[in-house]
Amino acid sequence: MMKRSRDSGSPPRKKQRLSDEISPTQEEEADSSLTRNGKLGFLDLPGEIRNMIYKHALCRNYLQISSLHSGFETGQEDFQQKTHYLSNCWVDEITTKLLLANKTVHAEAASLLYGNRFDFCELESFYSFIVDLRPETRSRLRHIRIVDYHEETPRPRCAGLAFDILKDAPNLESLTLKFWYFTSFSVIRDFCTVFFEDSRTWLETVAKRKGSNRAAVELIRTTFRDDFIIWCGQRHEAMSHSEEREYEGNQYFHKVFLEMLEKPQ
C-alpha cells in the first residue's frame, strides 16, 4: 500500500513568488487583529518571530518519503524487521495545521516547507508524492534525492511519469541519485542510459529553460547509497577511496549524460 502524501493547505489564488524571509511590515489580513477575547493573534506577532516559528516547525536537514511495505531495516550490526520504511516523514500534525491556518500563513510558510530537501526511498514514492502536488506547489521544490535509483527491468511506468511532472519545478536546484558502488565505468554508462530514458523530456525542458544542456546536466549529481558507506566501514576500507570513486563517477556521469543529451534523436 502506498502512503500518499497530500499537498496541504490552500494557496493564494494569485500566484506569487515567495521568499524565505518575512517582511515585518507586510500587510496582514483583517483577522490578524486582536481576537474578540483580547488575546494576541499569531499574525499580530512581528514578522521575525513568525519566521522563527516557521523555521522551527518546518525546516529539517531532509524530509524522507517512502512507500509502505513489509521489509527489513539494516544497520551496521543489527537487522530489525519493520512494517514499513518511513522516518522523518513531512506529514505531521504541526506542519499540516500550520499551513491550514489561513492564506497569509500558507503564503509565508509554504516556501520554507518545500525548500527542504526531500528524500524518496524509491521511484514509486517519488511519483506518489509529486503527482499529488499542485503545479504552483511543485514550483517551490528546491532539492530532491532518490535514495535507491536502480536499473530494474522492466522499468516501472511511474518513472517516466514522475519526471514528466517534474517539469513543473522550474526552481529545482539539485536532483541527487543514490546508487550502489560501481565496479567499472561501463556500469555508469548503463545507469546513464536507464536514467536518460526515464528523464529525457524533463532534461530537455530544463536545458531549454536554463539555456544550455550543460547547465541542465550539472543540476544532477550521483552519490553512493548509505548502506555502501556502512559496508565500507565494516570492512575497514579507507573512506577516502569511496569518496574518490564517487567523485570520478559523478564526473563521468555528467560527461556521458551530456553526450546523450546533445546526440540528435
**Would residue 126 count as lying in a domain?**
yes
**Would residue 204 count as lying in a domain?**
yes
| Integer Cα distance of 38 and 45 in angstroms | 14
Place of cell 483577522: 31
- 25-34 contacts: CB < 8 A, separation 24 or more? 26/108, 28/104, 29/102, 29/103, 29/104, 31/102, 32/104
In a 13 Å sphere around the CA of 52, the CA atoms on its Cβ side amount to: 6
| Integer Cα distance of 83 and 167 in angstroms | 33
Considering only CA atoms, which of 67, 63, 25, 73 is closest in space to residue 47?
A: 25
Domain extent at residue 217 = 42-262
**Would residue 28 count as lying in a domain?**
no
Place of cell 556502512: 230
Tally of structural domains, the chain: 1
**Would residue 76 count as lying in a domain?**
yes
**Would residue 249 count as lying in a domain?**
yes
Digit-by-digit pLDDT tens for the chain (265 residues) are 444 444 444 444 443 333 344 444 444 443 444 455 667 888 889 999 999 999 988 888 888 888 754 443 333 333 333 333 344 454 554 566 788 888 999 999 999 999 999 999 888 889 999 999 999 999 999 999 988 777 666 677 788 899 999 999 999 999 998 876 566 677 778 888 888 989 999 999 999 999 999 999 999 988 865 544 444 455 445 445 566 777 777 888 889 889 998 887 6
Sequence letter at residue 176: T
Angle at 131 between CA 128 and CA 135, to 5 degrees: 150
